[in-house]
Structure 1
Amino acid sequence: MQTVKTNALRLLEASGAKVKVHSYDNEDGAIHGTAVAEKIGLPPETVFKTLVAHSGAHLYVFVIPVGEELDLKKAAKAAGEKKIEMLPMKDLLKYTGYVRGGCSPVGMKKLYPTFIEESAELQDTIAVSAGKIGLQMEVAPGELAGMVGGMFCDLVK
């Protein structure tokens, strides 16, 4: 099966990062993180979701394990903001170029400050969206952080 090359995959491969691509069937509509982890056969603690939040006009990207919930207080502290809230879903495509379920931390319209849950550093590789629903890419956490200028910090409840 020919894998679709997304912008996120092209960028990671161009950087020399080792990337393993996982595709999954999304016909059933189950695109939430834990379902994706199950479909691609990876433990949920190694599959990460990409969340976008904002404080006023500033956008921030948070990459956390699919089974976890973003702690907005910790997120605000990491971003150096007093308060932070999730970006409304209707604005996701406009600011990132991605849709819900296919939002990758790599290859957004702009490079936003990116924070990765520190537990990622305990994994050899983590899987994140490859920029399209039905496609995940597995990469070393350090290589992902290098691509997006990401910082590792405590982000979950």
Structure 2
Amino acid sequence: MVKTSKIKTNALRHLDAKKISHNVYEYDAPNGFLDGVSVAKATGMDVNKVYKTLVTQGASKEHYVCVIPVAEELDLKKAAKHFGEKKIEMIPAKEITNVTGYIKGGCSPIGMKKQFRTAIDSHAENLQQIVVSAGKVGLQVELLVTDLVSVVGADLTDLIVK
């Protein structure tokens, strides 16, 4: 069941502080983490507008954030090229909280402990609104693509495996 939420997370507080219009949706995650396609189904959202947040680390040890459609796979070579790295890898799940302040399945590109360089897959250019994690398992936020790009200082680029 989808419903609006009164819960506040770092991501939602950040959007409120910047006066960015958004909708918040809660969904049931009885066993904790749900994959992104299941989240789209649980919220009744079009799977093409629901994006997942992936945190990576380059050979330089810098962290980068990639936001891609939930049904797609990140192309690590494309991400490395975009960020000017020789190689990029996903960070281990156990490091997500220390790096971002969020937990696996609830990692939002908005309001992390530190603002990392962020890229959003270019398919988002075809959307008016995008849905990403609101910073907690069971919570999603919908906002304009342009607002997400602005609030996280993201680039739009091709990031997915073809």
Aligned partner of residue 69 in structure 1, secondary structure: coil
Equivalence for 1:111: 115
Equivalence for 2:136: 132
Amino acid at match of 2:160: V
Amino acid at match of 1:17: I
Aligned partner of residue 75 in structure 1, secondary structure: helix
Equivalence for 1:15: 18
| Unpaired stretches in structure 1, ≥5 consecutive residues | none
Structure-2-length-normalised TM-score: 0.93
Mapping of 1:18-33 within 5 angstroms?
18-29=21-32, 31-33=34-36
Runs of 4+ residues deviating >4 angstroms:
none
Deviation at 1:124, TM superposition (A): 1.1
Structure-1-length-normalised TM-score: 0.96
Aligned partner of residue 52 in structure 1, secondary structure: strand
Aligned partner of residue 116 in structure 2, secondary structure: coil
Equivalence for 2:48: 45
Equivalence for 1:149: 153
Query: Residues 109 and 30 (structure 1 numbering): CA distance in 2 closer, same or farther, change over 3 Å?
Result: closer
Aligned partner of residue 25 in structure 2, secondary structure: strand
The question of whether the paired residues in 2 share the 8 Å contact of 1:30 and 1:36 is answered with no
Q: For each residue in 1:43-62, what CA deviation from the matched residue of structure 2 results, as whole angstroms up to 9, or x when unmatched? A: 11100000000014200000
2: CA distance, partners of 1:143 / 1:104:
14
| Unpaired stretches in structure 2, ≥5 consecutive residues | none
Equivalence for 2:37: 34
Aligned partner of residue 91 in structure 1, secondary structure: helix
Q: How many residues align?
A: 157
User: Larger deviation: 119-128 or 28-37?
Assistant: 28-37
Equivalence for 2:96: 92
Q: For each residue in 1:84-122, what CA deviation from the matched residue of structure 2 results, as whole angstroms up to 9, or x when unmatched? A: 000011111001001110000001010000000011111
2: CA distance, partners of 1:5 / 1:30:
19
Percent identity over paired residues: 49
- Two-structure CA RMSD over aligned residues (Å): 1.2
